[in-house]
Each structure stands twice: as structure tokens, then as C-alpha cells.
Amino acid sequence: MKKIAFFYTKGGTGKTTICFNYGYYLADNKNKRVLMLDFDPQVNLVYSFGGDYKNDEGNNLESMLLNFIKGRSILLEDYTIKIGKNLTILPTSNNISVIDEYLTDLLVKKSFEKGVMLKSMERNLLLKDMLDKVIKPWEFDYVLIDCQPSFSLLSNTALIYAENILTVLKPEPYSLVDIDYIKRIINNLNRKYGTNVSISGVIINAFESRKKLAWDISKKIEANFGKETRVFREKIKFLAQYQSSIFLGKQPVFKMYPGSAAAKSLLNLFDEIDSIVLDLINY
């Protein structure tokens, strides 16, 4: 089972759109069993599939985590939505941030029970262990996680659970600063939790090929990562079809606009991603 977290520290980079399309690509084009986790309180991944589950207490990540915290038995199928034959989504809700508070209370309770003061970092491990327990028996080929665009309890848990990160960024001046920041935080996570979290690939999105600045920054991004991380050759241009395929059709771009420049570019990117998948940490 390959676990991949789509992550970046800023919103609006197209992270969710690419995650959504990649999930469909794996399920429909590659016949893989895919579970998609929405770990972003903005619930954009849920909306991409045409659903509005934010008020449905029975089918979302928040409900599953709260039941776990309360010590109840957890079955993944009670909280997920089936999208076609191979694709399953675990939705989130706008209220998912309350989990932080509940986990802190749980940590205090466990500290009293054990007579030892547990560290706040234990909250991430509690969530990671729960995800391992409820997801692994299903033997999905892929687990894709759309992360919150910041370092938080949820996103940190997603990163230490998946360990493989695909980061989606725009070729903007501040991207270079963000990259250094992300690297430092990842190093801290690995030091704290003994994990092997790493950026497996970098996707450059909203690329404006006519602008010299976009090319210059892209070259600096490639130089910044050096040989340790793959910066994918296929740069995704800003094309209206990416947004309209979701907004109008709730479909991946290669289904709604087959043969279009947008579809071809994204499929080229996915071919590149597939080429590194064999090297990803497997579970």
C-alpha cells in the first residue's frame, strides 16, 4: 500500500485539484483500489466529488476520530463514501479542528491513568495508530491524503502516517522561502517521531511559460532540492479546464475534456509520478 500526502504550507496552489485528479486516474486508468482522505477543514476535496458532508455526523473524519477518542469500536466502512468501483473517500468537516482540543483532554486522561505526564506529541501518534489500525486491513493499493495547508495536528499526523509527500507549489518568489521552512519542519518531525518523512516529488503548478520569472524561479526550485528530490519536468500551466471540470462537472479534467492540453499535461505528470512510485515507502 502506497501512502502519499499532498502538502504545501500555502493554500491556492492547486494541491487539492491535482490530488483529486490523481485519485481518479489511479482508480479508473490504472485499476487501483484508492482511499482518499480529506484532512483539510476547507473540505475542498469533498466538494470536488460533488458532495456536501460537512453536516453529516455519520460519514466523516471528525465523527470517526471522536468515536475513537471516546473508546468506541471503529470500522472504516461506517465513515467512508464509495465513489465508483475502485475509489473511496473519507470526508472531513469544517469542525475537524475541535479534534485538537479533544485529543488534549484524552492525553490528560491517559497521563492520570498511567501516572506519567505524556507529551503533546503523543496526540499525533494516537491518530497515526488509529489510521494504521482501521485502514490497513482493507489492503488499498493507494491512500492519498489532501492535507491542510499549514503545519497543524492534522497535517503533521498525515505526514508521519504517509511519510511520502508530493508538494504542489507555484513558481513565486516566496516559494523558495517556503521550501526551506518545510524542510526544517520535516527534519523536526523525523527527529521527534523517528519517522522517515520526505518530499518524494515537487509539482510546479500554475506555470506561466511566457514569463521569464516563472522559468527563473523554477530553476531555483530545482537547484534548491538538488538530487535529493525529484522536481517533475511536466509543469502544469494555468488553464481554465482544471477548475471548470470540477466546478461544472465534478469530474477529472481528462474525463470532461479528453484530448485537451490540460488533460494531456496532467496525464504526463501522472506518468512521471508513476515512475517514482516504486521507490516510495511501501506498507
| 87: in domain | yes
| 80: in domain | yes
| 282: in domain | no
pLDDT tens by residue, 186-195: 999 999 999 9
| 272: in domain | yes
- Per-residue pLDDT for 258 more than 80? yes
| 283: in domain | no
CATH number where 202 lies: 3.40.50.300
- Helix (H/G/I), strand (E/B), else coil: 83: strand
Are the CB atoms for 142 and 4 separated by under 8 Å?
yes
Under the banding of pLDDT at 50, 70 and 90, the label for residue 169 is: very high
pLDDT tens by residue, 111-154: 666 655 556 567 788 888 889 999 999 999 999 999 999 888 88
Q: How many domains does the chain have?
A: 1
| 184: in domain | yes
Q: Which domain holds residue 133?
A: 2-277
Scored b (16 or more CB within 10 A) or e, 184-209 reads: ebbeebbeebebebbbbbbbbbbbee
Handedness of CA 46, 19, 144, 5 (dihedral sign): negative
Q: Residues 20-48: what's their mean pLDDT? A: 94
| 166: in domain | yes
Are the CB atoms for 241 and 260 separated by under 8 Å?
yes
